[in-house]
Structure 1
Amino acid sequence: MVGAAKKKCKVCEEADSKYKCPACLIPYCSLGCFKKHKEIPCVKEAVPAEKKFAPNPHVERPCFVDEPSIVLQQSQLESIASSSEVIDALKNEELQKLICKIENSADIESEFDKAMEVDAFRLFTDKVGNTLFSL
């Protein structure tokens, strides 16, 4: 199971953050801190297409695994990354948005479950699974 560590608000540096600025993704705890943060305009960093799926550098999320045997090996990850079916699927803008939404969510498991209801995401996970099973 993946657990999200509590992060401190980057504005007041006191309370746990509950939100992220939609532009720059800085964590903040309240409307007051958000307004203070917005006193200085911020912008979302432009992400080159080839880096679109890189983890967001503003999001620190430790990964906790209940069952170590489910962690993929380097060779499995490389197979997924080099699969032409997976690469082609990742060109779908709807899928890109779903993946970003999961990545930036405070509740990854819930967001993942919602994404599984969308054909594009379900087909993508099938392609990833087929790549792993063909090893």
Structure 2
Amino acid sequence: MQEAERCGVCPEGDRRPAKYRCPGCRARYCSVPCYKKHKEQCVPKVDPVPQPASAETLMDVHREKSLNAEARPRLASDILTEDEEEDKVPLQTLQQLNESEELQGLLLNPHLRQLLLAVDQAADKNSLMQKHMQEPLFVEFVDCCLQIVEPPEKENEVPE
């Protein structure tokens, strides 16, 4: 495995495969503890300032988005960029999130739903997620999702 695909947070001799990327700086990490350690020193990449578009272009884009929104539901592929292609979660795994009773139980909490709605609507999602990672309920939700999406490897399991 290439060095770029290994966790950038684990100690040098113990670097595990990096399965996740920081939403702010795109650094790779392998687990929630590594993410928590990384976020203490994370320096998010700043997007270049977009050039203003003409009013006509904005109207065309808005019209196209409206037509597309009416034609089909919003998909994960709509919001992912090409460099995030390798970070996509398979549809089967996403279905496991939908079927998780533990996750459904957590989502019954109105405070958690409000936190998730705030992140979804935020302009600076990265900063707000870092703030919410101080909330035990939000961390529990994230941990539950990660357990389903990327179950921990069993230490005593014999490879086939």
TM-score (norm 2): 0.45
Count of equivalent residues? 85
CA distance in 1: counterparts of 2:128 and 2:82, whole angstroms: 18
- The RMSD of aligned alpha carbons is 3.1
What pairs with 1:1-135 in structure 2 (closer than 5 Å)? 1=23, 62-64=79-81, 66-134=83-151
Deviation at 1:131, TM superposition (A): 1.6
Q: Deviations for 1:71-102, whole angstroms, at most 9, x for unmatched residues?
A: 10100100011100001000111111100000
TM superposition shift of 1:130: 1.3
Distance 2:103 2:79 in 1: 25
Unpaired stretches in structure 2, ≥5 consecutive residues? 1-22, 25-46, 59-72, 153-160
User: TM-score, normalization: structure 1?
Assistant: 0.52
Given that residues 89 and 149 in structure 2 are in contact (C-alpha distance below 8 angstroms), is that contact kept between their aligned partners in structure 1? no
Distance, in Å, in 1 between the alignment partners of 2:98 and 2:148 is 10
What amino acid maps onto 1:80 in structure 2? L
- 3-state secondary structure, aligned to 1:66: helix
Taking the aligned partners of 2:82 and 2:139, their CA distance within structure 1 comes to 23
1:100 and 1:115 map into 2 onto residues whose CA distance is: 12
Higher relative contact order (CA 8 A, sep 6+): 1
Q: Percent identity?
A: 21
Secondary structure at the residue paired with 1:72? coil
Q: Greater share of helix residues, 1 or 2?
A: 2
Q: Which amino acid aligns with 2:129?
A: F
